[in-house]
Chains A and B, each alone.
Chain A
Amino acid sequence: MKMSISEPEEIKINMTAMIDIVFQLLVFFIMTFKVVAMEGDFNIKMPLASESADSLDEELPDLITVRLEAGENGNISSIIVDDSETLREATMFPDLTNIVEERLAAEGNPEQNSETEVEFDIDYNLKYSYTVKAIGAVSGRALPDGKVKPLIKKVKFKDVAN
């Protein structure tokens, strides 16, 4: 008996539908893609009033009070440190960093002082961007090589001033 051997046929899959859907997916992801700016945090611990009263017996940390005064349209007009030094110039934020750095150096712990705390007393109308600038100014110093020299780690707000 003679058996016929058929030649293997090349199987061709129709890719058109898959390529269509793949391109549609690609277009969807490209259209919905958003470049999100990198974000960071300033951490603030605000203990409840009752807990603050409980901790009165404990030794209080060194405290630097910083008052931020608002001028017209919520812009900053002056910074007063510990009710004694008033900063008014355009360089008030770098000056604030200098004062904090000097204060920490005087206390013998210029690097990463973990105990000293800064309390901000801020005018109600002051724009939030200035508050963030001031928190940044006491938190550390940006060095030319891109690194940051940390200063104050504990920051708190005084009660809302009306």
Chain B
Amino acid sequence: MRLFKKKSTEILEGDLTPMIDMTFQLIAFFMLLINFSEVDRADEILLPSSVLAVPPEVRPDYQIILNLEPNGVVVFEGQKNGIDLLNPLLSRQVDAAAREGIRDPGDIAVIIRSHEDTPTGVVQELMAKCQESELQSFSLRVKNQK
């Protein structure tokens, strides 16, 4: 009498195709959603929120994003500066915009991302400093509550 069946010694190979498909789809998803403009943002800045702020429909031809901390320090392109020291940086931006065909500094959009506890006077000082470089179009960026 035979007691044991002979075990099969073949290697079991599962079909990996669906898993690889799904993994590639996940990678594509995360690649599309990754935020490349992280350098324009400063994580420590807590924006005020509003229901009424309108998300920008079109990106301006040229924009300058200024992050303003409560102590009056401006974070611009990852560098921290006092408001008084902004003139050379802003002038460089105006020149760069002119090279891209935007001759009128009034057409450059200045986006101010200010912390909610910043004194409004400091925000106005920043705007006045921008006006010294003939910048006139300002957008106060806030968190959209919708």
> A: which residues have CB within 8 A of B?
15, 18-19, 22-23, 25-26, 29-30, 32-34, 36-48, 68, 74, 122-133, 135-136, 139-140, 142, 146, 148, 157, 159-162
Complex contact A142–B120 (CB within 8 A): no
Distance between Cα atoms of A29 and B118 in the complex (Å): 34
**Contact A40 B120, beta carbon cutoff 8 Å:** no
CB-nearest residue of chain A to B139:
A41
Determine the chain B residues whose CB is within 8 A of the CB of A123 once the complex forms: 120-121
**Contact B140–A142 (Cβ < 8 Å):** no
With A41-B141, A42-B140, A74-B117 known as contacts, the answer to whether A131 contacts B53 (CB < 8 A) is no
Chain B, 93-128, contact with A by CB distance < 8 Å: what is the 0/1 string?
Answer: 000000000000000000100111111110111011
Classify the interface of chain A: helix, strand, loop or mixed. Answer: mixed
**B-chain residues with CB within 8 Å of residue A41 when the two chains form the complex:** 53-56, 111, 139-142
Distance to closest chain B CB from A128 (angstroms) = 5
On whether A40 and B54 interact (CB within 8 A), knowing A29-B31, A46-B138, the answer reads: yes
A36 & B35 in contact (Cβ 8 Å cutoff): yes
Residue of B nearest to A25 (CB): B27
B3 is an interface residue with CB less than 8 A from chain A: no
Q: In chain A, what residue has the closest Cβ to B23?
A: A22
Instruction: Give the distance in Å from the alpha carbon of A125 to the alpha carbon of B118 in the complex.
Output: 8
Contact, CB under 8 Å: A128 / B48? yes
- With A40-B144, A128-B117 given, name 8 new contacts (CB 8 A): A33-B34, A38-B143, A39-B142, A42-B53, A125-B119, A126-B120, A127-B116, A129-B48
Contact bitstring B30-62, A, C-beta under 8 A = 1, else 0: 110111001000000001101111111000000
Chain B residue contacts of A22, Cβ below 8 A: 20, 23-24, 27
List, in ascending order, chain B residues with CB within 8 A of A126's CB: 119-121
**B139 adjacent to A42 (CB under 8 Å):** yes
Is the Cβ of A136 less than 8 Å from the Cβ of B56? Answer: no
Verify B118–A157 contact, CB threshold 8 A: no
B138: chain A residues at CB < 8 Å are 43-46
The reply on B16 being an interface residue by CB < 8 A is: yes
